[in-house]
Structure 1
Amino acid sequence: MARSPRKLNDPKKPLHRAPVRIGRVDSAAIIGALRQLHETAEDGNIERMPADEELYGALLYLEANAEALRNEEARRTSALARVQLWEYLRERADIHQRRAVEDARRAAVEWAELAPALAVRAPSAAYNKALRLRASVIADDGEEDEPLRRTPEAVLDAERRALARAAAERRATAEAMRRHALLEPVAKRLVEHRSGLDDDDEATYWLDEIEAVLPHCHTPTQFVSLQTYVRALVRELRKTERDAACPAGTTEEARLAYAAAAELVADA
């Protein structure tokens, strides 16, 4: 019987099983706790232990002085924490080595020169290893919904998606700033003439919100909040007009401010 042809995997297709990662941990706090174990055990060399922030040196010290812990539970705790921190260090090493490679390339270092530094034999192998290192940074950023296969094709595809997301965010931010430039003077007019719009009910509530956010409106999220409050105020004033069968504003300035806000949110 003829054997069915082997189905080739798409090198860009995500892995079916997500790789297990240590992720972000407070390594200094863990080292501090292990230091306390050694101090409790009256480790005679504890003054030689590097600072909590010096992870690599602290791990070497803990390894060399493991026998100072005479309590079995303390030895178990320390050993397990060291295993975790070495894995954490391995993950971080990929990220920082990737940044070093990028700095080297910006400094006009050729792939042939990078090959021995990356422990590979050929420029093409150095390039591919650098791509795999880039996968570590993408995974660490948590931008991908699916596990990332560490192939050149998958990494480049993920980076294209990251660039597209960044471009979309820039466009959204620019649009938010453009709309805010139009909205801010309108919102200020509403606040300035709020005495002609207050109704001691919903409209007053939204005017309070607009007045509160206006002095601190600097980010896209705040821009959206201001737009939401103005739109809500316009909705309430329209309701007032329908229910009372008369203009919502009690002064000409207030009616003009309301009309400008209504026109602006209608275009949103």
Structure 2
Amino acid sequence: MPRTSRPSHQPVTREARPARQPPVEHPRVLAAQLYELHRTAGAGEEYLERWPGDAELYGVLQFAETNASRLADAEAYRQGARLRVMLAEWLRRLADPLQLRAIDDAVSGGVSWDQLALDLRFVGRDGEPTAGSAHNSRSRLYVRVHGQPDDRRQPKVARLIEKRTVDARLARAQVIETEDARYPAMDAAARTLLGHFESGEILGDPDDDFWWSELANVVDDRRDASERANLVVYVRGAVHETYAYARCTDQPPTTTDQARQVLEAAAALVGAAGAGT
């Protein structure tokens, strides 16, 4: 009898893993649900007065663990345990960035990796600190904090993420440099557009002029290169908003030839601005 071949599966690379998403509910909502379980089970009991408050996640977890046996109903006990699981996951996610910054501050402040290994309890059988383990732990923590959900928590992936971050920063710097050089033209286009819009020559949605309002608010407030480069976002939004409303209402976007030329010139200007902003 011929052997049937097993279906082939796409291999998972060593740099990626299935994404691990955070719990759906906000931690305060989970804490409030946990309190309701205890309030229902222990109505009138003094221990409820020790509830730490929905925002104190660590205190909520301690309270819920200490008083778990008070949930006598089996379903309530199971639900309480599940809520504790999800709250603990939120607490871990909130604590990871704090520990990463603490480690980096310690290293930049002159603390050795040997000392950090002792602090983090990375020691060998001989009781000596294993600095490499502490450093690898920091790398995995870096992946958890700065990586994508499907990045594997491995030291080499931390290096890939650091490179990804540097590349993104360099690309953003290039965009800022390019757009800042175009700022005089963008600023002139923004002010001319606003003049025609305010005079009623450029069509606007009377119920939703978000981008025109934003453009008017920011045009006089571009203080540094990043803000000057970002003006293109508001000009593009106002132009797109006008053309979209014109299509929806089957109206021309402008009422005068001069306004039409200004709008078309601005559209051409932002169309050449690139997608990086």
So what's the TM-score if we normalise by structure 2? Answer: 0.66
2:215 alignment partner in structure 1: 214
Q: Name the aligned partner's letter for residue 135 of structure 2.
A: Y
Mapped partners of 1:81, 1:226: distance in 2:
47
Q: CA deviation at 1:101?
A: 0.5
Does the Cα contact within 8 Å between 2:189 and 2:266 map onto a contact in 1? no
**Hey, what does 1:57 align to over in structure 2?**
59
Between the aligned partners of 1:83 and 1:168, the Cα distance in structure 2 is 40
- What residue is the counterpart of 1:152 in the other structure? 155
Measure how far apart 1:227 and its partner are: 4.0
The residue number in structure 2 matching 1:3 is none
2:119 aligned residue (117, 121, 128): 117
| 1:176-220: CA deviation from partner (whole Å, max 9, x where unpaired) | 44434422223323554679994xxxxx32799786453123666
Corresponding residue of 2:168 = 165
C-alpha distance in 2 between matches for 1:206 and 1:108 = 59
Q: Could you say which residue in structure 1 is the equivalent of 2:38?
A: 38
Give the root-mean-square deviation of aligned CA atoms. Answer: 3.9
Determine the C-alpha separation between the residues in 1 that align with 2:35 and 2:54. Answer: 8
Tell me the amino acid that sits aligned with residue 215 of structure 1: A
Q: Report the equivalent of 2:137.
A: 129
Name which of 186, 189, 194 aligns with 2:192.
189
Larger radius of gyration: 1
Give the Cα–Cα distance (whole angstroms) in 2 for the partners of residues 231 and 53 of structure 1: 42
Alignment CA distance shift 1:224-1:56 (3 Å): closer
1:80 to 69, 79, 82: 82
Q: Aligned-pair distance for 1:47?
A: 0.6
Distance in 1 of aligned mates of 2:266 and 2:63: 68
Q: Which runs of 5+ in 2 are unaligned?
A: 1-12, 124-129, 243-255
- Name the structure 2 match of 1:239: none
Amino acid at match of 2:203: Y
After superposition, the C-alpha distances for 1:125-176 in whole angstroms (9 at most, x for unaligned) are 211111111111023xxxx3x7222222111111110221133234324444
TM-score normalised by L of structure 1: 0.68
* Contact 1:183–1:264 under 8 Å retained in 2: no
Q: Matched residue of 1:205: which SS?
A: coil
Q: Which residue of 2 aligns with 1:20?
A: 20
List alignment gaps of at least 5 residues for structure 1.
Answer: 1-11, 199-203, 234-246
Task: Say which structure is richer in helix.
Answer: 1
CA contact (8 A) 1:134 1:155 kept: yes
* AA partner of residue 70 (structure 1): A
